[in-house]
Amino acid sequence: MGDRDKTDKTDKTDVWQGTLALMVLKTLQAMGPLHGYGIARRIEQISGGELSVNYGTLYPALLKLEQEGYVAAAWGVSDNNRRAKFYRLTRAGRRHVLRETGEWRRTTAILARFLAVEGEP
């Protein structure tokens, strides 16, 4: 087996396709308004450093969430006194988080059943 099979905490996994939007929305739900850098750091922190957020993926996802009406954005000043775009959940975003969270819980419960099945000899 190759080097990828070794467990190495220095190797971060990119955020999985289809999960970034929910991670962003859940982050905003928990933390309130944040700028992109803050969202990325929080996702990495919650993952225990296992995930790496690619800014080339994050900002298009934020734009899409804004276009869908799930987040709203406004310019503000960050902690280090720089202009930054801050994102916050909208009412539609809060409803969407509840729906998506339920869907992911059902999906992961189904997957967990498959992972628990022992293979036949």
77-115 pLDDT, tens digit per residue, is 998 999 999 999 999 999 999 999 999 999 999 999 999
Residue 4 in this model has a pLDDT that exceeds 50? no
Residue 8 in this model has a pLDDT that exceeds 60? no
**Read out DSSP for the chain?**
--GGGS--TTSPEEPPTTTHHHHHHHHHHHH-SEEHHHHHHHHHHHTTT-EE--HHHHHHHHHHHHHTTSEEEEEEE-TTS-EEEEEEE-HHHHHHHHHHHHHHHHHHHHHHHHHHSPPP-
Q: What is the pLDDT of residue 119?
A: 73
> Going by C-beta distance under 8 Å and a sequence separation of 6 or more, which residues neighbour residue 61?
20, 21, 24
What is the architecture of the domain spanning 13-116? Orthogonal Bundle (1.10)
Residues 18-30: tens digit of each pLDDT = 789 999 999 999 9
The Cα–Cα gap between 11 and 62 comes to 25
Is the whole-model pTM more than 0.75? Answer: yes
Between 107 and 15, the more confident residue is 107
Q: What is the pLDDT of residue 9?
A: 45
**CA 70 remoteness from chain centre:** 14
Residue 86 in contact with residue 76, Cβ under 8 Å? yes
Q: What is the pLDDT of residue 17?
A: 60
Q: What is the pLDDT of residue 120?
A: 61
Domain residue limits, the chain:
13-116
Residue 68 in this model has a pLDDT that exceeds 90? yes
